[in-house]
Structure 1
Amino acid sequence: MAGRRDDEIATASPLARHGRQRRRGAARTVASLLALTLAVGVVSAGSVAAFAFYRVTSTISKNAVSITQEGQKPPKVGAITGPVNLLLVGSDSGGGNSTYGDRGENLNDVTILVHISPVSHSVTALSIPRDLYGPQAACTRENGSKASAVSAVKFNEALSRGGLGCVAAAVTGLTGLQVDYAAKIEFDGVVAMSDAVGGVQVCLATKIDDPKSGLDLPAGESTIQGAQALAFLRTRHGLPDGSDLMRIGNQQVFMSALIRKIKSADTLTNPATLYNLATAAADNMQLSTELANSETMISIAVALKDIPADRISFVQYPSTPTYINNISVTIANKRDAKILTDAIAADQAVAAGQLGGAAVDSGTDSTATPAPTDAASAPASGAASGAPGDEVSTDPSNPVALPTSITGQSASQQTCSRGQTG
């Protein structure tokens, strides 16, 4: 099932138009590339020169949009003193760059909710699968009009329903967590960010050769940037089962390496690098109105910069692959997901139940059997895994051990990606 290609999906279903979008070879951007570096990069650029900071914040402010929904209290603008939920959205529109062709639909193929907690001195970056199938609430579009609620749709349709505000409403509806701030990134932002840091060193347990994404990397360590970094983040057919769930695990390998690179002294003390990071964000991102404020960004940067890598966790929302009307979707494992969202709501640090399917420990034998992924191990929707984490600890210094259906890793874990073995 996991190996079935999107272009083999029948087109009779209302979901089928997304099958057609896949046939056009839609590249996948990765909002998480900037998830934990946006605020740090923007505010650090201010230390390079006042005019540089003004240029960055002015560019960002011009494109800002409101995400506040009807009946919702707007988040605070200015200094941040408590926990923050920051939504990062990866658009597949191409941002108007003709290099990526005629994009057609504007989908949120990457959706990550980043919870920053000064209480537990931790960050949890929660990736929501693009094909997660379920209801989405009514929402206010960027133009102020209303989008009606829908009973069942792929999660990546939220952006096309009305912009960042509708994605935020969908995230809140799924997780019960209010989104305070949001940002959307385009393809070029991935390229610019990886170039700004001088590339990211990734490790491959087995080679990846994926003509669809254009990625061809040997086993071992490689430093990737620019278009090659984008190809690494969007590759799916180069991974063991070709699934989008496994792609998230592969992205977590990259994100962890990126965070380690960003937090290195060579990066954080280099004014040119910091300014390039900031301008990459400014030129390729759209922020919510409340986030596009210098004091807000500075406060978030302060909250982020001293959090150690082992307290930064990348996790995937648990779901089970299936088919509906011959369309590949995933169904939420709500019981296990509640353990995760309850921990986030309680400002607890978390520890993933196991590595993502495409990831292995850097010292792992590449011929060993891959760790089970959501596709293989997640229980059916509503079923508990019985793994540690059934009760959320009240001790903020003690990470909550999540069920094995919730895959991921910390930024301190040095992992390798596993390519196709056959």
Structure 2
Amino acid sequence: MKRPTDPHPVIETLLDGADDDAARPSPRSPRRASAPSARRPRAGEGRHVSRRRRTSSKFVRRRIMVAAAAAVCVTMVAGISFVSATYFQVVGNLADNAVGRADGTGTEISGWDGAVNILIMGSDSRDGQTSADYGEAGGARSDVMMLLHVSADREDATLISIPRDTMLPTPECTTPAGDIVPAQEAAQINGALENGPFCSLDTIRAFTGLPIDHFIVVGFDGVIGITEAIGGVDVCVENDIADDYSGLYMTAGTHTLKGEAALAFLRTRHGFADGSDLGRIQAQQAFLASLARKVTSAGTLTNPGALYGLADSASKAMTVDEALAQPSSLVALAQTLSNVDLSRIVMLQLPVVPYWADPNRVEPLTEETDAIFATLRADLPLSFQDDEAPDAPAGMAPEPQPDEVADAEDAAGAPSEPLTLSDDIVGRTAEDTTCAS
């Protein structure tokens, strides 16, 4: 296919990257040669906590242009690779919605040579939304909050969903208007967005200890426009759903959802599990994984019309920090995620327990969350128990005991080996195609 002519260098960079993608080896092919001493430990080779029994359909593994976590953002970049006019439209849309810190400070993106951490939020603010059915709201709240970590070697990605009802300490922060919001000992995390996305970002950065400098906020219309542009997203549900609150009605089985039906699926709480936000998170993870597979399928990537609609819809409904809105940042983001396989994208829910002061709220399960974020701070991968089982050599050594796990940490307490998640952790990889329940 003849590539569109465009003089802009970043477009040429993306086009070259798209051509190279076809020549990359499959996930089962040998990776680039490197010295054994420099090999980064793979997920599943380090610390273990317990045996996890998991079932999922096996999917054909392939290289992807986007990570499931940032599908709404990198999808937009994929469109740039094929439709040059989209580039200028996307840059303009993002510039219109970019937000900077009130004091003018911010972390610039110089290429993201190291690990990448981005906070992704889905806002339930009704301001400017085209669907009147969702009513009015006095301010924005993050109905969805996810932390994306991409390893420095670009081989692993982790997407952690943080329940909206999680109670966390919030540091003092400054709103975009320059107002000072005092620190709180405990506050519901989804309310932090009311004071601006930087207040949410600062809270999660303090909680995780990770250097999170950039954010993406996606509004209602982003979901509606994206799913309509690609012809819908396939989702599977184990049971019939009749939810009067969200307007979602589905029979058990697989359905193709787009527009407001897709939005209702992402927002419903009463349709899944115990009717809580925790059940909804599992459905959202299944939706994101399916969205990633659809976006990276040949039918989407070779359809200029779909790509243009995808990029335009996503960028119009997104708010990002000023550094992330820069043209060079779009290229850096695309390059950051270009080599991550679906099987190496771990999607999990933050481990939580009922909040001591209010059973309708939750708080982090300290031991598990500490281990997860310590592993990510060390830029080591996470995995579920059976993720690497098919490739494990015969006669593999038995799983380490708790004291052996402690010995795997260095003197400063930082992990030195990958972490295998316990069977109590709710999650999946992006290639899993299990039904939502």
TM-score normalised to the size of structure 2? 0.74
Q: CA deviation at 1:105?
A: 3.5
Report the equivalent of 2:310. 277
Report the equivalent of 1:412. 431
**Equivalent residue runs for 1:9-408 within 5 Å:** 35-67=69-101, 74-97=106-129, 98-119=132-153, 121-160=155-194, 162-322=195-355, 324=357, 328-352=360-384, 394=416, 400-408=419-427
Assess, with a 3 A threshold, how the Cα gap between structure 1 residues 107 and 39 changes in structure 2: closer, same or farther.
closer
Q: Which amino acid aligns with 1:168?
A: L
Unpaired runs of 5+ residues, structure 2, are 1-65, 388-400, 410-414
Q: Which moved more, 1:308-317 or 1:138-147?
A: 138-147
Q: CA deviation at 1:39?
A: 4.0
Q: Which amino acid aligns with 1:294?
A: P
- Rounded to whole Å, the distance in 2 between the matches of 1:350 and 1:186 is 30
Is the contact made by 1:120 and 1:348 (CA closer than 8 Å) also made in structure 2? no
- Rounded to whole Å, the distance in 1 between the matches of 2:428 and 2:279 is 13
Summarize deviations over 1:47-98 as a string: whole Å, max 9, x none.
Answer: 344332111101211221125889xx83233422221111111111123324
Is the contact made by 1:233 and 1:251 (CA closer than 8 Å) also made in structure 2? yes
After TM superposition, what 4+ stretches of structure 1 lie above 6 angstroms from structure 2?
Answer: 385-390
**For the aligned residues, what is the CA RMSD?**
2.7
- Rounded to whole Å, the distance in 2 between the matches of 1:353 and 1:177 is 25
Is the contact made by 2:148 and 2:159 (CA closer than 8 Å) also made in structure 1? yes
Is the contact made by 1:132 and 1:154 (CA closer than 8 Å) also made in structure 2? yes
Is the contact made by 1:389 and 1:403 (CA closer than 8 Å) also made in structure 2? no
Which SS does the other structure have where 1:52 is aligned? helix
Q: CA deviation at 1:109?
A: 2.1
TM-score normalised to the size of structure 1? 0.77
Q: CA deviation at 1:341?
A: 0.7
- Rounded to whole Å, the distance in 1 between the matches of 2:115 and 2:214 is 12
Report the equivalent of 2:3. none
Which SS does the other structure have where 1:95 is aligned? coil
- Rounded to whole Å, the distance in 1 between the matches of 2:110 and 2:92 is 16
- Rounded to whole Å, the distance in 2 between the matches of 1:401 and 1:68 is 41
Q: CA deviation at 1:352?
A: 4.4
Q: CA deviation at 1:315?
A: 1.0
Is the contact made by 2:83 and 2:307 (CA closer than 8 Å) also made in structure 1? no
Is the contact made by 2:346 and 2:428 (CA closer than 8 Å) also made in structure 1? yes
Greater Rg over alpha carbons, structure: 2
Assess, with a 3 A threshold, how the Cα gap between structure 1 residues 39 and 387 changes in structure 2: closer, same or farther.
farther
- Rounded to whole Å, the distance in 1 between the matches of 2:102 and 2:123 is 20
Which SS does the other structure have where 1:416 is aligned? coil
